[in-house]
Amino acid sequence: MLSLSLIIASTGCTSNKKNENGNQELENTRETGENSQNDDRSITEDKGKLQNIKVLLDWVPNTNHTGLYVALKNGYYENEGLNVSI
């Protein structure tokens, strides 16, 4: 019963818009492009401000936390405007 309801719910999230080849088309509007440019401007304006984030690990540092430490060491968080402490 749960499987059936999940299938029905997931099909409701799709679009039936097809092009002449029978493939689904993706809508690409000019408005979307303009909004993404505005978002880029706000990111560059706030580039000097870092948001403080504290990451709490699940007991002790372990191998599954490697990506967090690599990103911290390589400055990936700062590139995204985050001041992360682990």
Q: How crowded is residue 33: how many other Cβ atoms within 10 Å of its Cβ?
A: 9
Give me 10's structure tokens: 């997931």
What are 3-36's pLDDT values in tens digits? 666 666 666 655 555 556 665 555 554 555 555 5
What is the value of pTM for the model shown? 0.45
- Burial (CB count within 10 angstroms: exposed 0-12, middle 13-18, buried 19+), residue 72: middle
Residue 82, pLDDT > 60, answer yes
Q: What is the pLDDT of residue 48?
A: 73
Mean pLDDT of the chain, nearest integer? 74
CA distances from 54 to 44, 63, 82, 84 (A): 23, 19, 10, 6
Q: How far apart are CA 15 and CA 7, in angstroms?
A: 15
Please check the confidence at residue 40 and state whether its pLDDT lies above 80.
Answer: no
pLDDT at 59: 84
